[in-house]
């Protein structure tokens, strides 16, 4: 018969293995079901998950859905405004490749200190992934999925 410490180690290793397999399975599923983003370079999306959520909210309230936005070619937007938006939303936009690891670490630290999810640390790329394909829920799994898409 195994001694209690040996049994505890075995159960801990088993639990760790199950956890690693679950995470690997989830990431594998996400990789297989990643959205095709190739078309975004050539054509603006006709809708997004965020727009559809707003449409559903309006329908729930029995109100008409009246989106108030229009696409504008980037060439028609002042370069100063473009830079201002980038700096205000993602100061290190030109320095990372979709994920700002330092920003995420800072957000995690602040959230831990405050005891709640308040800051997300998302880049513009991650915000696009969330708004087009994911919900706005503040959950760590959604954040991981967002990072994978980005």
Structure token digits, residue 101: 């690891």
Name residue, tokens 């700096």. Answer: 87
Residue 72, pLDDT > 80, answer yes
pLDDT at 144: 86
Nearest to 134, CA basis, from 35, 61, 15: 35
- Looking at the predicted structure, is the pLDDT value of residue 78 above 80? yes
Q: pLDDT class for 136, splitting at 50, 70, 90?
A: confident
Mean pLDDT of 95-106: 89
What are the domain boundaries of the chain? 1-33, 41-66+79-149
What is the pLDDT, as a whole number, of residue 142? 85
Rounded to two decimals, the pTM is: 0.68
Instruction: State phi, psi for 98 to the nearest 5 degrees.
Output: 105, -25
23-46 per-position pLDDT tens digit: 999 889 888 888 888 888 888 888
Q: How confident is the model at residue 2 (pLDDT cuts 50, 70, 90)?
A: low
pLDDT of 21 > 90? The answer is: yes
CB 133 within 8 A of CB 149: yes
């Amino acid at each position: 018969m195994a001694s209690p410490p040996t049994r505890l180690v075995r159960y801990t290793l088993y639990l760790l293995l199950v956890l690693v397999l679950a995470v690997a399975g989830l990431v594998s599923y996400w990789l297989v079901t990643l959205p095709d983003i190739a078309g975004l370079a050539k054509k603006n999306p006709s809708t997004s998950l965020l727009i559809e959520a707003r449409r559903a909210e309006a329908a729930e309230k029995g109100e008409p859905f009246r989106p108030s936005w229009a696409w504008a070619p980037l060439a028609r937007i002042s370069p100063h405004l473009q830079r201002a938006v980038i700096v205000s939303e993602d100061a290190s936009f030109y320095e990372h490749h979709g994920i700002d690891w330092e920003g995420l670490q800072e957000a995690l630290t602040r959230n831990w200190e405050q005891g709640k999810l308040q800051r997300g640390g998302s880049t513009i790329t991650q915000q696009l992934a969330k708004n087009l394909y994911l919900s706005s829920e503040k959950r760590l799994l959604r954040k991981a999925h967002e990072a994978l898409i980005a």
